[in-house]
Structure 1
Amino acid sequence: MKKLPLLLSSVLLVAACANPAVIERAKAERAGFAAVEIGARRAVGAAPVWNQSAAELEGTEKRVHALVHGKTISADTAVQVALINNRALQSSFAELGLSSTDLWEVAMGPVPSVGVSVSGLAGDVTRTLEATVAGALLELATTKPRTQLAEIRFRQAELAALAETIDLAVQTRRAWIEAVGAFEASTLIGRTQNTADAASELAVQLGRTGAMNKADQAREHAFTAELAVERAAARLEAQLAKEKLLRLMGLWGSDTTVYVPDALPALPGRPLAASNIEQLALTNRVDLASGKLELNAIALDYRLTGQTRMVSDIALVAGAELERTDGDTETAPVLALDFQIPLYDTGPLVSKRGRMAYLQAANTLAQQAIDARSDARMAYKAVTGRHNIARHWRDQVLPLRRQIDEAALLSYNGMLTSTFELIADAQEGLESRLAAAEAKRDYWLAETEATAAIWGGSVTLPAGKEE
């Protein structure tokens, strides 16, 4: 019976391979989510929420209702609601939870199996005790590197969740800007249409008195009709943009009673994007961080793979059988079909595969870094360029246009110019105001893209999960 304690001690040794610190971190209810929260606050100024129960979901719904129902919301509010209420984002958080479960399972170490059977024949009772530690040697040898690899995959899952959070925030802010910009255009057209409607009515009255022929009347009515079409198109664009915004915010039903401002914020005195945006991108982009982790994972994985090439279609279990007969115990080796064993292979095949996989990942990361730097430079040029254009419209074109409008109105009131000239000036003024509003919208969109250039980039998790 001396062999039995030895085998049981092997079972305990296998179980002792568990890493308590990693287990505690991985089994937490929201493992890894703190990193996502911190990263989101730094990147987009808002923190996501991970709803894991009906009570938490109900609390979030009440919070969302209080933030938006019947209110005119800012871009920051829209982003905050999206980060706590968008169900696709909640799904990505669940993916993070699955990754933490994978890490937990690996950190627990190998799970030994022990089987005990009792059998007897007529008049001769024989007890057979079978203790088998399935794959103990393999698991003991590879638990540490397997845990390290699982930790890398878990960290990549954190970055993937953060990338989804940042992307949603950027999309939501972009949708808010587009919706508000469309409503601003509709408002500008509406103001001009009021003037056109008055001129059209005046044309009708002049036509009745014979002071205006039918061709001139038709010209007035055509301008009014064209403005009506433009305004309808602007309203439709605004409604569609707002609907996209509501979808990103996860709103439906009664919660869609939400309003956005009629105009975008005023142009700032200087662009908000930092001049060192290229360095910020290299430091903060989540796709680059994930790519660096992938290099570590491949290096670790192929060092491991060199020792654990599996034998196809062969399964063996190593153990010992203790058979007790008439008070004596005999030990005999046992082979049974149960698990795959490693074929040690450190030859050229594995070596080349590892080198090629590492080179592939390294060059992919290098190109991602080049792309990130380029994205950052383009984003900064777009921000500064759009700001200059919008400022030119605001400081140069619109003041001149206001002078023209004021002079035209004085001339019209003094009966020095006709209604046609007043309407023509109004039409040109509308085009200038719409162009200025569009330039302002493009600037704010460029600022949003700058945020994406600094922090964004999609993170794709490896298809083959660890273990």
Structure 2
Amino acid sequence: MKGKLISSVAALAVLSACADTATIGKVSTPRAGFAAVADRSQRAQTGTPAWHLSAAEIAAAEAQTKALIEGKTISADTAVRAALLNNRGLQASYAELGLSATDVWEAALGPVPTIGVSVSGLAGDVTRTLEATLLTAVLDAATAKPRTKVAELRFEQAQLAAAGETIALAIETRRAWIEAVAAFEAAGLIAQTQNAANAASELATELGRTGALNRADQAREHAFNAEVAAERADARLEAQLAKERLARLMGVSLGQMTFYVPDALPGLPGGPRSQVDIERLALQNRVDLAAGRLELQAIAADYRLTGQTRAVSDISLMAGIEIEREDGETDRNPVLEVEFEIPLYDTGKLISRRGSLEYLKAANMLAESAVGARAEARAAHKAVTGKHSVARHWRDVVLPLRRTIDEEALLSYNGMITSTFELLEDARDGLEAQLSAAEAKRDYWLAETSVTAAIWGGSASVGGDEEGDDE
């Protein structure tokens, strides 16, 4: 029995040396995998994130955020930078990345054999106990490499999920900044309307005292003044609430920190991006599609699928011309072939029906995600081009006409052809046009952020959490 005991202990010692040191070296650093997250965020042009692992780093991030925004009028880029530095929810998603790295580390360590001898009664069969322990360790060692491979793929998915959270926060923060600036711009324009309404109301009161204006016309001007006052109060409230939403995304409290946003959004650029470019970039860069491909690899590794048999496209687009007719006009849009390939493995020899179904489920979900990504990209293109056209129409056609009307109305008033009320009414109509133009400009900038979301976004979840064991 002594010889068996020595050989069993020796075998356990051999198993204890099976750790994958190369893999452990990659995942044992404090911020393992974060470089890939930062790289994808920078390629998406959404900013540079930071992962804080100590109270000192958190305090430094808060101080840096305060230096960025305290008492300043911040740009959209500054708001995004502050959010990536200081948003605690984002830091929680990075902790999930760290936990995934720990899973790889534990899998790469291999089995940790232990010797447990329990002596009870007159004589315990120590050799049999050790042999049973050794058998379990041998089975663990035999599956260590595929389990490590699956853990590594899950770790890559966790990196994509963290990158997706980073990009989503940057996009949401930029949208909140746009909404806040647009709200303050609208409040400023309504304040101008209020000034005109106040003047008309005061004039109506004076003319009423002289008997030159009847009570109905006086009431009409007073009612308009009161309505504009309500609209102004509502606009100011909406602006403050929009600023609160922006502050929350940046992880700051307006009660403890003061910052400002510009009074108006930037002007329109020359033109939006092209449709084909958006769709191609979406298929190449979306984190949910990349995570879906990794899910297929993880299932293949988990169920020992070896040998990719073929790859299929989610959809086939024939190169040619797509013709659309609307209101008697014909639009010709070039349609180029854009492929998104899904790898398929041979599942015919699988003993486990669960493995085959899991793989087919993941492949179909990936195909659905790819089709959805295409549709989202095309919708983002249509929205951004449409909103740009509308905003440009307000800027280049409507507002110049309104300025011409205001100039002519002033000339007529100076020539005593029209009354003061007619002049003020034209001025009010002009301010309404400015409000509509500002709203169209806001819609365009929001559509631009949707383009970034369509190219880089998507929900990249880490699979395997809900998978059951084979029975």
**What is the TM-score of this pair, normalised by structure 2?**
0.85
For 1:258 and 1:295, the matched residues in 2 are separated by 47
Cα shift at 1:192: 2.0
The answer to which of 188-197 and 206-215 deviates more is: 206-215
Equivalent residues in 2 for 1:244-263 (5 A)?
Answer: 244-252=245-253, 254-263=255-264
2:18 corresponds to: 17
Equivalent residues in 2 for 1:27-426 (5 A)?
Answer: 27-115=28-116, 131=130, 132-133=133-134, 135-252=136-253, 254-271=255-272, 275-303=276-304, 350-426=351-427
Deviation sequence 1:179-207 (CA, Å, 0-9, x none): 11111111111112212212221222222
Q: Is the 8 A contact 1:120 1:127 kept in 2?
A: no
Deviation sequence 1:329-378 (CA, Å, 0-9, x none): xxxxxxxxxxxxxxxxx999943222211111101100100000110011
For 1:127 and 1:138, the matched residues in 2 are separated by 22
SS in 2 for 1:112: coil
Cα shift at 1:441: 0.3
The answer to which of 449-458 and 200-209 deviates more is: 200-209
For 1:210 and 1:154, the matched residues in 2 are separated by 82
What is the aligned length? 423
Q: Is the 8 A contact 1:272 1:447 kept in 2?
A: no
For 2:171 and 2:124, the matched residues in 1 are separated by 73
1:432 corresponds to: 433
SS in 1 for 2:269: coil
Cα shift at 1:273: 6.4
Deviation sequence 1:71-93 (CA, Å, 0-9, x none): 11111111111111111111111
Q: Is the 8 A contact 1:294 1:361 kept in 2?
A: yes
For 2:289 and 2:256, the matched residues in 1 are separated by 38
For 1:385 and 1:100, the matched residues in 2 are separated by 44
Cα shift at 1:413: 2.5
1:452 corresponds to: 453
Task: Supply the AA of the counterpart residue of 1:42.
Answer: R
1:335 corresponds to: none
Deviation sequence 1:302-323 (CA, Å, 0-9, x none): 228xxxxxxxxxxxxxxxxxxx
The answer to which of 1-10 and 256-265 deviates more is: 1-10
Task: Supply the AA of the counterpart residue of 2:72.
Answer: K
Change (3 A) 1:255 1:466: farther
Cα shift at 1:211: 2.0
Cα shift at 1:41: 1.0
Task: Supply the AA of the counterpart residue of 1:142.
Answer: T
For 2:387 and 2:42, the matched residues in 1 are separated by 26
Change (3 A) 1:211 1:126: closer
Mark the runs of 5 or more structure 1 residues left unpaired by the alignment: 305-345
**What is the TM-score of this pair, normalised by structure 1?**
0.85
The answer to which of 14-23 and 286-295 deviates more is: 14-23
1:342 corresponds to: none
For 2:455 and 2:46, the matched residues in 1 are separated by 14
Cα shift at 1:409: 1.7
Task: Supply the AA of the counterpart residue of 1:302.
Answer: Y
The answer to which of 413-422 and 105-114 deviates more is: 413-422
Structure possessing the higher radius of gyration over alpha carbons: 1
For 1:120 and 1:461, the matched residues in 2 are separated by 50
The answer to which of 368-377 and 292-301 deviates more is: 292-301
Q: Is the 8 A contact 1:271 1:383 kept in 2?
A: yes
Deviation sequence 1:382-437 (CA, Å, 0-9, x none): 11111111111101110110110111122122221112212221222122111110
Percent of aligned pairs sharing the same letter: 63
Q: Is the 8 A contact 2:86 2:250 kept in 1?
A: yes
Q: Is the 8 A contact 1:113 1:134 kept in 2?
A: no
For 1:253 and 1:174, the matched residues in 2 are separated by 19
For 1:350 and 1:221, the matched residues in 2 are separated by 83
For 1:449 and 1:155, the matched residues in 2 are separated by 26
2:443 corresponds to: 442
Change (3 A) 1:210 1:142: same
Cα shift at 1:3: 3.6
Q: Is the 8 A contact 2:273 2:381 kept in 1?
A: no
Change (3 A) 1:465 1:82: farther
The answer to which of 98-107 and 248-257 deviates more is: 248-257
Cα shift at 1:127: 12
2:312 corresponds to: none
RMSD: 2.4
Mark the runs of 5 or more structure 2 residues left unpaired by the alignment: 306-346
Change (3 A) 1:127 1:439: closer
Change (3 A) 1:45 1:182: same
